[in-house]
């Protein structure tokens, strides 16, 4: 099985969550451009309660996985939150074959700025934005969390007058320091991360070891400071694609900077394991968001 095949093997699990989109009481607006006359992947979906709400809604923004090279914004695994009084937005972004880093940062931040600029239209609470993601999307969510309003990583797409800052982050098994993944991977690793055809190398436009300066700009650790929002980090201890050490590294750096962190290691869980979508973990996410976004019962 090739490197690309391995990283993309988990996508059917994401697609299998499509039934969530059929939940009664949820209305969806799909493929909304967040950049005028932009790339076909610069779109997002918005999910809202079918019945209008009086109070502005906190927003859970999800970024899908797929090794920065594939995947769809359709049917994010947090749609159940719409039934709990949240709006959910799901971001699509340019893949590495279309544009290398930092295009993915520019797209995700442009999407968040679009959502904030249009908060009134969709009845969003612009002061209660959370971002989350799985795998490559977990990396992007963590990156957004630590690099809010860092000028050189914002780009100039879309609503440049709005802020890309978020107030909470959920990172599911995302890479952190892509220059370290190869060294941290165990003997059962399914990927040669330093290979020129690895997802990390394709993201950077060349072998990781030859792109260390660019890789540093993609590392959430580069931008950590005490003003960063609270993080919920979840990772399986049987992940053979992104080693658990990546999340432990992120958690330690955040704690050292006095940022609030909740780290949950899931025993026996592999990459994109169904255990992440268990009722217990759904409750954990909801409780984390209610507490950190200061949402009243």
Share of the chain above pLDDT 70, in %: 90
- Average pLDDT estimate for 36-40: 95
The token pair at 201 is 């190398």
Give the chain's domains with CATH numbers.
3-292 (3.40.50.1820)
pLDDT given for residue 260 in this prediction: 98
pLDDT in tens, 92-113: 999 999 999 999 999 999 999 9
Q: How do residues 207-226 score in pLDDT, each as one tens digit?
A: 999 999 999 999 999 999 99
Q: Provide the strand spans (E) within the chain.
A: 26-33, 43-49, 57-63, 87-91, 124-134, 168-172, 231-236, 261-266
Let me know: does 103 contact 204? Beta carbons within 8 Å: no
Does residue 19 surpass a pLDDT of 50?
no
The confidence score (pLDDT) of residue 9 equals 44
Paired with 26 in beta bridges are 49
Region 138-164 average pLDDT:
96
- Closest CA relative to residue 210, chosen from 198, 227, 222: 198
Contact 84, 286 (CB under 8 A): yes
Four-CA torsion 87, 246, 281, 77, nearest 10 degrees: 40
How do beta strands 87-91 and 57-63 pair?
parallel
pLDDT, tens digit, 9 for 90 and up, residues 258-286: 999 999 999 999 999 999 999 999 999 99
**CA dist., res. 48 & res. 187, Å (int):** 45
End-to-end CA distance of the chain: 48
Least confident interval from 6-15, 59-68, 89-98, 122-131: 6-15
pLDDT at residue 183 in the model: 80
pLDDT, averaged across the chain? 91
pLDDT of 184 reads 76
Q: With bands split at pLDDT 50, 70 and 90, how would you rate the model's confidence at 16? A: very low
pLDDT band at 246 (very low <50, low <70, confident <90, very high): very high
What is the model's pLDDT at position 88? 98
């Amino acid at each position: 099985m090739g490197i690309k095949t391995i990283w993309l093997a988990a996508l059917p699990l994401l697609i299998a969550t499509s039934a969530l989109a059929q939940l009664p009481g949820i209305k969806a607006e799909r493929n909304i451009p967040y950049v005028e006359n932009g790339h076909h992947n610069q779109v997002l979906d918005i999910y809202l309660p079918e019945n209008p709400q009086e109070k502005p809604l906190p927003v859970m923004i999800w970024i899908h996985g797929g090794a920065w090279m594939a995947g769809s914004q359709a049917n994010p695994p947090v749609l159940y939150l719409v039934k709990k009084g949240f709006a959910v937005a799901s971001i699509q972004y340019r893949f590495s074959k279309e544009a290398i880093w930092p295009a993915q940062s520019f797209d995700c931040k442009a999407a968040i700025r679009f959502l904030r600029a249009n908060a009134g239209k969709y009845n969003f609470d612009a002061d209660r934005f959370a971002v989350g993601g799985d795998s490559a999307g977990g990396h992007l969510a963590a990156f957004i969390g630590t690099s809010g309003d860092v000028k050189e990583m914002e780009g100039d797409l879309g609503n440049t007058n709005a802020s890309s800052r978020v107030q909470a982050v959920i990172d599911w098994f995302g890479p952190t320091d892509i220059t370290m993944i190869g060294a941290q991977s165990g003997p059962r690793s399914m990927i040669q991360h330093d290979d020129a055809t690895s997802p990390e190398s394709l993201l950077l436009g060349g072998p990781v070891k030859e792109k260390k300066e660019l890789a540093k700009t993609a590392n959430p650790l580069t931008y950590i400071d005490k003003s960063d929002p609270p993080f919920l980090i979840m990772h399986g201890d049987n992940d053979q694609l992104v080693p658990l050490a990546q999340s432990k590294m992120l958690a330690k750096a955040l704690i050292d900077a006095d940022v609030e962190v909740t780290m949950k290691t899931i025993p026996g869980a592999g990459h994109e394991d169904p255990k992440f979508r268990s009722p217990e973990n759904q409750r954990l996410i909801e409780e984390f968001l209610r507490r950190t976004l200061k949402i009243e019962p």
